[in-house]
């Protein structure tokens, strides 16, 4: 099927007609994607939202610490961000398959804006802050599901891989900027004011999407799920993911992050054991993001599409290998290097993300993406919680090594099936980019 947004009909929105097939045409995909006005709007909104989300995490944690004086309460505030996907992934992402996706994105951001502003109201009891924070995260997954599905309508094939890589690479920068801005602005203006002003960022993102992206009707469902209700729609999404070997394997590859991200949750004790303080802990936490920036650029800019898809399995294995460094009680610099290498190899997630979305039928993309995105966040949250629990009994180094071993074993179980289906997935992605 032809890409509806890369045709030969001028629309004065910055879209370019597809160029004739060339051997190395994929190398120009970044430039072609950035020339599309609708993509620039979605990308800008995502960047601002990423900064706002991470700024909120830090500012809310500081706010709670000021209220309670409890490090445990402050830590729980950050952990709250991992819990809403249990609800939002399976039950809310399907909204983007029922309603126009631009409308879902705009409404989600406006709801988040109201909830975040409410968190910053002085004098709220702690339970209200936590409840509002929990609810403020809920719209993020239907927003992300709608964004991924809408992007696949605007851009397809290799350009879609480039678009997701650009968005995820920018997200790594947004995470770092949000963390730094949250601490700085909370110290300068106070946590309450910082949280309330942060809500305005989501009004901005809603306006960018509303006026920067064209309205499209809700996707037509190819067939009615048995029963026809919303519950059947959600159940159909789970069947779609786990009933297709390609989608199931890609989802399991994504969820491996719950193992190789364990050191992220142990950054503070790992840094302390190496003789560092809070700044060192921040450097440890940033290691994987720095690696992902470099690895993502190399993988999507220098490696041909067919090769990078075949590399998904081996890279999934290699993402956990650097964790074995903790067998040797590494110094701080080696910890950061190991996590950067892990982040670089884990950039296979950029390609797996795009392959997954393009292999899902259009009418189920939001449900399927939301389910897997929720599983990714939950796997990371559970991995961090389990890592902290077992570190109390066995020590941080042992836990990190154990997570690395489990990550290698589970990834090896996915390598063989993936090697059999990678060429088929490549063909499927190429079909979405082929002219009619």
Summarised one tens digit per residue, pLDDT across range 52-70 is 887 887 788 778 877 887 7
Helices (H) and strands (E) in the chain, counts: 21, 0
Query: In angstroms, rounded to a whole number, what is the distance separating the alpha carbons of residues 388 and 354?
Result: 32
Number of other residues whose CB lies within 10 A of the CB of residue 24: 7
The three-point CA angle 153-143-11 to 5° equals 30
Share of the chain above pLDDT 90, in %: 25
Q: Give just the sign of the alpha carbon dihedral 325, 326, 331, 337.
A: positive
Tokens read off for 308: 């990078």
pLDDT at 262 over 60: yes
Tokens read off for 31: 């430039």
Query: In angstroms, rounded to a whole number, what is the distance separating the alpha carbons of residues 218 and 411?
Result: 37
Query: In angstroms, rounded to a whole number, what is the distance separating the alpha carbons of residues 190 and 187?
Result: 6
Please state which of the ranges 78-82, 247-251, 311-315, 403-407 shows the lowest mean pLDDT: 78-82
Query: In angstroms, rounded to a whole number, what is the distance separating the alpha carbons of residues 250 and 354?
Result: 10
Tokens read off for 50: 């990423």
pLDDT, residue 10, reads 37
pLDDT, residue 6, reads 36
Summarised one tens digit per residue, pLDDT across range 285-343 is 778 888 988 898 888 888 888 888 889 999 999 999 999 999 998 999 999 999 999 99
N residues, the chain:
436
- Model confidence at 171, pLDDT cuts 50, 70, 90, reads confident
User: Largest Cα–Cα distance in the chain?
Assistant: 64
Summarised one tens digit per residue, pLDDT across range 27-39 is 557 788 888 899 9
Query: In angstroms, rounded to a whole number, what is the distance separating the alpha carbons of residues 242 and 6?
Result: 31
pLDDT, residue 316, reads 95
Tokens read off for 152: 């696949």
- Averaging pLDDT over each range in 180-184, 221-225, 281-285, which range is the top one? 281-285
Number of other residues whose CB lies within 10 A of the CB of residue 387: 22
- Model confidence at 141, pLDDT cuts 50, 70, 90, reads confident
- Model confidence at 250, pLDDT cuts 50, 70, 90, reads very high
Mean pLDDT of 173-188: 72
- Model confidence at 233, pLDDT cuts 50, 70, 90, reads low
pLDDT at 155 over 50: yes
pLDDT, residue 434, reads 52
Please state which of the ranges 80-84, 86-90, 132-136, 185-189 shows the lowest mean pLDDT: 86-90
CA-CA-CA-CA dihedral for 186, 78, 90, 167, to nearest 10: 50
Mean pLDDT of 135-151: 85
Summarised one tens digit per residue, pLDDT across range 90-132 is 667 667 777 888 999 999 999 999 999 999 888 889 899 899 9
């Amino acid at each position: 099927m032809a890409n509806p947004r890369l045709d030969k009909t001028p629309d004065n929105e910055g879209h370019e007609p597809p160029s004739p097939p060339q051997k190395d045409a994929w190398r120009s995909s970044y430039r072609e994607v950035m020339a599309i006005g609708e993509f620039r709007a979605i990308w800008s909104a995502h960047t601002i939202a990423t900064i706002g989300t991470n700024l909120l995490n830090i500012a809310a944690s500081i706010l709670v610490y000021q209220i309670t004086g409890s490090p445990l309460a402050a830590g729980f505030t950050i952990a709250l961000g991992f819990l809403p996907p249990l609800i939002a992934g399976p039950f809310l992402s399907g909204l983007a398959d029922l309603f126009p996706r631009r409308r879902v994105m705009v409404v989600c951001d406006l709801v988040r804006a109201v909830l975040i502003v409410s968190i910053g109201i002085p004098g709220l009891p702690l339970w209200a802050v936590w409840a509002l924070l929990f609810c403020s995260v809920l719209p993020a997954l239907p927003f992300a599901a709608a964004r991924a599905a809408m992007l696949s309508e605007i851009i397809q094939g290799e350009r879609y891989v480039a678009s997701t890589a650009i968005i995820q690479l920018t997200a790594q920068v947004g995470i770092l900027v949000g963390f730094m801005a949250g601490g700085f602005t909370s110290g300068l203006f106070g946590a309450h004011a910082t949280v309330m002003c942060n809500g305005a960022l989501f009004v901005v993102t809603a306006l960018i999407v509303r006026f920067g992206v064209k309205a499209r009707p809700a996707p037509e469902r190819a067939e009615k799920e048995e029963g026809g209700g919303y519950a059947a729609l959600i159940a159909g999404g789970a069947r779609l993911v786990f009933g297709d070997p390609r989608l199931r394997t890609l989802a399991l590859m994504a969820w491996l992050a719950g193992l190789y991200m364990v050191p992220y949750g142990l950054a503070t004790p790992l840094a302390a054991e190496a003789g560092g303080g809070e700044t060192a802990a921040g450097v440890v936490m940033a290691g994987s993001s720095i690696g992902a920036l470099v690895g993502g650029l190399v993988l999507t800019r220098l490696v041909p599409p067919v090769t990078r898809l075949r590399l998904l399995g081996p890279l999934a294995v290699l993402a956990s290998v650097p964790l074995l460094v903790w067998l040797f009680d590494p110094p701080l610099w080696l910890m950061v290097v190991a996590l950067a290498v892990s982040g670089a190899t884990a950039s296979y997630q950029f390609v797996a993300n795009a392959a997954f979305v393009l292999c899902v039928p259009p009418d189920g993309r939001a449900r399927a993406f939301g389910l897997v995105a929720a599983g990714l966040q939950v796997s990371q949250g559970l991995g961090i919680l389990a890592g902290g629990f077992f570190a109390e009994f066995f020590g941080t180094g042992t836990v990190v090594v154990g997570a690395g071993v489990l990550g290698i074993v589970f990834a090896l179980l996915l390598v063989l099936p993936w090697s059999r289906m990678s060429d088929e997935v490549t063909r499927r992605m190429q079909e979405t980019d082929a002219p009619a």
